[in-house]
């Protein structure tokens, strides 16, 4: 039986392309950052979705 941590790690690295994994990591990092500053999970998800959509054309580009 695999632990919850091992399951999350497997999901993190089981993507068809690097860009999909990078988007997943960015989403979860940003959401966790919002939660760490005191937002509830629902609000953190809303703001993360909004921020990702606002910057979707240049998520990993140079500024």
DSSP string, 22-61: HHHHHHHHHHHHHHHTT--HHHHHHHHHHHHHHTGGGSSS
Instruction: For 32-48, give one letter per residue: b (16+ CB within 10 A) or e.
Output: eebeeeebeeeebeeeb
Sign (positive or negative) of CA dihedral 25, 26, 27, 28: positive
Structure pTM? 0.68
Give the separation between CA 45 and CA 35, rounded to whole angstroms: 9
pLDDT along the chain (63 residues), means of 10: 68 73 88 96 95 81 61
């Amino acid at each position: 039986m695999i632990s919850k941590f091992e399951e999350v790690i497997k999901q993190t690295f089981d993507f068809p392309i690097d860009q999909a994994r990078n988007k997943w990591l960015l989403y979860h990092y940003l959401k966790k950052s919002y939660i760490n500053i005191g937002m509830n999970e629902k609000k953190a998800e809303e703001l993360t979705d909004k921020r990702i959509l606002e910057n979707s054309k240049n998520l990993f580009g140079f500024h």
